[in-house]
A = this chain, B = another copy of it.
Amino acid sequence: MDYTNSSNADQLPQSHLQIAMEVHRVVPPPPESTIRKLKTTLKETFFPDDPLRQFKGQPTRKKWILAAQYIFPILQWGPNYSLQLFKSDVVSGLTIASLAIPQGISYAKLANLPPIVGLYSSFVPPLVYAVLGSSRDLAVGPVSIASLILGSMLRQEVSPVNDPVLFLQLAFTTTFFAGVFQASLGFLRLGFIIDFLSKATLIGFMAGAAIIVSLQQLKALLGITHFTKKMGLVPVVSSVFHNTNEWSWQTILMGFCFLVFLLVARHVSIKKPKLFWVSAGAPLVSVILSTLLVFAFKAQHHGISIIGKLQEGLNPPSWNMLQFHGSHLGLSIKTGLVTGIISLTEGIAVGRTFAALKNYKVDGNKEMMAIGLMNMVGSSTSCYVTTGAFSRSAVNHNAGAKTAVSNIVMSVTVMVTLLFLMPLFQYTPNVVLGAIIVSAVVGLIDIPAACQIWKIDRFDFMVMLCAFFGVVFISVQDGLAIAVGISIFKILLQITRPKTAMLGNIPGTDIFRDVHHYKESMKIPGFLILSIEAPINFANSTYLNERVLRWIEEYEAEDHKKQSSLRFVILEMSAVNGIDTSGTSFFKELKKTVEKKGAELVLVNPLGEVMEKLQKSDESGEFMRPDCLFLTVGEAVAALSATIKVQPSINVV
């Protein structure tokens, strides 16, 4: 089939006209009631994974068992649990415990909370998660970014130094709201909200947060006592250099040595994943070593600040500390929302990453409920916001964890520590905790991923930079909001300015493709074939109108030279996946405009929904006429060329 040489329709080969006779009719989609449509939309929006599929056609007893297993995944793998699996889980559980203890203490300090709260948070939540969670690799505990945000947001209104009890109450209340928020996102199946944090946004955000967290550690690493309470790059750096007289060389030396040790250990484990225990054990080794050093040299009298006495015993109940009234309620809710979303994002991303590695599935909405319940329980047992931590889960995975039992082992180890080993941490220097945090968050700065993004998509890179600089120079929550805003704006811009392309025929076929992309494709005289690549709605109907007119005018300007007039404007609508009332008006207006120019508007392959709406808006039935509605561009061109031949006088007009 060759349309391109036929500047006059008479030259069309015979076979061509035969095809024109065999045109396939465009039919409206099968009728569907509004309720049914609503049902489909709701299902796709809230249940895209069709969680009830497995229940279909099962006997009632089986259904109950499935339901119990659905709610408590432990019932799924529990019955098949073996000694072999247990051995792996004990090894990995002990490994992550050795990481969890120093990290727990450090992150609690990052959140301006008493260090012991960090350990409490590594005891109860892992137990809850082991019962409810469906990931086999997630290691649960406090994480750096959520700790940072919680600490910095609450500190805006309440001082952790002057009012420690109120601060602690607010932290637990925040944790409760974070949990409620997470669980309800899962329960209401609104999990897709966290999808709005794109990968680029997260990479920029994480890197920015890592910088902010590291800067905060300068207090501990340099031994400064008068430190700014702000988080931004500028105030922290200026505070550091305004207090050079407070710098303590002993602290700096110790911090530097342990930081180098930790970073080297990290590097070794990255290079050789089999040596995972090097980086996993390094924090605990640093803590033990530094504590011994301090104890031996009485270094606390030489300018090195230490943690001090820690309470012994398990988590005290804290439900009586939750505050559901008073002037700080708004702050707790807001902080709960932000930390809830952030920790959820990390937890779900980590869970999905490892599930993909081991080829099992993690149900996002179910995970949200598990993490949410875990935080709600946590908030009444003296724990603050916890989630699946990336570094800890990676260690867990590398150490060979098989099931959530590794979380239980970690939890028990932390319990033993809480009961018997707390006095040992009394002489642990703060500088080592700072070094542990810095070495942990350095891993959040993912330069290769940033390079990859730069290579693929410049706009995503810009979003990433906005998130990064927003976090570093403005604030953690504003940086995140800016990046999300820009990402959404990009989507809207894509909709507002959809691509339209002129199609041409690929010689020797009935395929029509973008003439700009496929250089060999040829325009067909008398035809302007355009494809529209977006839903047509209020946000772009004005633009599309102007754009199509410009195509027509450009065609006519070229045309002028060629002395062949525009006969048909064909719109290829395969990519128009939706339309609204502004969109239907667009077609009506366009039809009038095209007809004023002496040409005809022809639609090709409108999709079901689009067709239905066009039909409803089109009382006179002018769009549904079979001579301006075709199934493929090829058929449209063939059939319409034939009509030109039938009316030979038209070429003169």
**Chain A residues in the interface with B (C-beta under 8 A):** 24, 27, 29-30, 34, 41, 44-45, 48-50, 192, 195-201, 356, 359, 364, 452-453, 455-460, 487-488, 491-499, 506, 509, 511, 513-514, 516-519, 533-535, 537-543, 546-547, 550, 574-575, 577-578, 580-582, 584-585, 589, 596, 605, 607-609, 613, 616-617, 631-632
Q: Is B538 in contact with A198, judged by CB distance below 8 angstroms?
A: yes
Query: Residue among A30, A34, A195, A541 with the most chain B CB within 10 A?
Result: A195
Q: How many chain copies? A: 2
Q: Is B581 in contact with A514, judged by CB distance below 8 angstroms?
A: no
Chain B residue at minimum C-beta to C-beta distance from A575: B575
Selected from B49, B499, B542, B616, the residue in CB contact (under 8 A) with A577 is B499
Q: Is A48 in contact with B543, judged by CB distance below 8 angstroms?
A: yes
A205 to B: closest C-beta gap in Å: 13
Residues from chain B with a CB closer than 8 A to the CB of A517 are 27, 29-30, 607-608
Q: Is B506 in contact with A24, judged by CB distance below 8 angstroms?
A: yes
Query: Residue among A452, A453, A580 with the most chain B CB within 10 A?
Result: A580
Selected from B494, B596, B617, the residue in CB contact (under 8 A) with A456 is B617
Other A-B contacts than A196-B538, A491-B495, A491-B535, 12 sampled, CB-CB below 8 A, are A30-B519, A34-B458, A48-B543, A198-B582, A364-B542, A457-B580, A491-B492, A491-B539, A499-B577, A511-B632, A517-B607, A575-B575
Q: Knowing A492-B491, A499-B577, A516-B29, say if A616 contacts B538 (CB, 8 Å).
A: no
A499 to B: closest C-beta gap in Å: 6
Bound Cα distance A250, B135 (Å): 78
Q: Knowing A48-B546, A49-B550, A538-B200, say if A509 contacts B459 (CB, 8 Å).
A: no
Residues from chain B with a CB closer than 8 A to the CB of A543 are 48, 192, 195
Q: Is A514 in contact with B607, judged by CB distance below 8 angstroms?
A: yes
Q: Is A455 in contact with B44, judged by CB distance below 8 angstroms?
A: no
* 18 A-B contacts (beta carbon < 8 Å): A34-B458, A44-B497, A48-B546, A48-B547, A48-B550, A192-B496, A196-B539, A198-B581, A199-B581, A199-B585, A200-B580, A364-B542, A456-B581, A456-B584, A457-B580, A491-B491, A494-B535, A533-B607
A470 to B: closest C-beta gap in Å: 17
Q: Which 9 A-B pairs have the closest CB atoms?
A: A198-B538, A533-B577, A575-B575, A29-B517, A517-B608, A456-B617, A460-B581, A456-B616, A49-B546
Bound Cα distance A582, B203 (Å): 12
Q: Is A542 in contact with B495, judged by CB distance below 8 angstroms?
A: no
Q: Knowing A456-B613, A608-B516, say if A533 contacts B575 (CB, 8 Å).
A: yes
Bound Cα distance A498, B581 (Å): 19
Bound Cα distance A41, B490 (Å): 12
